[in-house]
Structure 1
Amino acid sequence: MSDIIIQQNRTRIDELLAPYAAQIGGDLPGYRNHVYRAVTYAMHFLGNSPEHEQLVETAFVYHDIALWTNHALAYLEPSEAVALADNAKYGWGLNPEALQGAIHWHHKITAYRGPHEAVIEACRKADWIDANKGMVRKGMSRANIKAVEAAFPNLGFHDALIRLAKDNGGSTVGGLIKVVRGIIKW
């Protein structure tokens, strides 16, 4: 696999995150970098095709957003709802089925097969890479992961996920169980 292209500035991501900055609060720098890492991986899997960029960036901005907007541990469907509502409200013209699918299936354990397969599967693999800090690479080289992580440091993102599971689930273990039951797809 070729070297990865790292874009340090993705204006759309920052513009889409801005209205949610107060809700995300101190977790914003870590979440932003998670979004940047995941978008970078997904776009690499898609050959950096411009036709997918707007959808991928939007899907990743919204993919976990309900952790903060809804304080939901089963956050996929609420995150989808926020993304679809904003897509309609602001007239972005993104395919609602593809946008919803990229969010809905990003924690699927097995490969996604179905409509919009290329973009949904790229998003799924990208999030898995970042969620486990590159331990499962989904075909991505270690060198590419290292370069992306250096460009967009973690900034406490994974720690924030553990804290949110505890805060919204009553305990760390109980919250993590609720998260897994609410978001893992087969």
Structure 2
Amino acid sequence: MSKIIIQLKRQRVEELLARYESIIGKDFSGYRNHVYRTITYAMHLLEHELRYEPLVETAFVYHDLGLWTDHELAYLEPSEALALADNDKYGWGIDPDALRGAIHWHHKILPYKGHHEQVIEACRKADWIDVSKGMLRKGISKTAVREVEAAFPNLGFHNTLLRLAKDYGGSLLAGGIKVTRGIVKW
């Protein structure tokens, strides 16, 4: 696999995230960097095929937004609905099935098989790489993960996930169970 390409600014990402900055609030910088890390991994896994870039960027901007917009630990469906509504509203022309799939299956444990498999699977792998802080690398080198993490520091993102699980679930244990049941797919 080629050397990982790190793009520090992406116009689409900045424009889309700006619409939700006030809703995400104090968690914005950590979420922004999570979005950039996952996009970087997914595009690398897709060998930087530009035809996938609008979908990957959009899917990752929206993939966890339901945590903040709906204050919900089972956030996949709210995140999907928001992405699909904005896709229609702003006329982006992104295939709605691919957009929905990239968001819906990003926590799938086993490989995704089906329509839009290449891009959905790249998004799934990218999120697992980041959520595991590079312990799961899905074919990306340790060096590349370190480079991406250096370019886009965590800024407390993983702690935010734990805090939201506790806040929305009533306790870390109850929230963890609710998150697992609501977003993890086999």
TM-score over 0.5 (shorter chain): yes
How much identity, in percent, do the aligned residues show?
Answer: 69
Equivalent in the alignment of 1:166: 166
Deviations 1:41-96 (A, max 9, x none): 00000010110000000000000000000001000011000000000000000000
Equivalent in the alignment of 1:105: 105
Equivalent in the alignment of 1:14: 14
Equivalent in the alignment of 1:62: 62
Q: In structure 2, what is the Cα distance between the partners aligned to 1:14 and 1:166?
A: 29
Give the RMSD, CA atoms, in angstroms: 0.5
Amino acid of the structure 1 residue aligned with 2:157:
F
Aligned to 1:124, the other structure's residue is in SS state helix
Q: In structure 1, what is the Cα distance between the partners aligned to 2:183 and 2:59?
A: 16
- CA offset at residue 182 of structure 1? 0.4
Find runs of 4+ consecutive structure 1 residues off by over 2 angstroms.
none
- CA offset at residue 2 of structure 1? 2.3
Q: In structure 1, what is the Cα distance between the partners aligned to 2:111 and 2:146?
A: 24
Amino acid of the structure 1 residue aligned with 2:184:
I
- CA offset at residue 3 of structure 1? 1.4
Q: How does 1:21-170 map to 2 (within 5 A)?
A: 21-170=21-170
- State how many pairs are aligned: 186
Structure 2 regions of 5+ residues with no counterpart? none
Aligned to 2:20, the other structure's residue is in SS state helix
Aligned to 1:37, the other structure's residue is in SS state helix
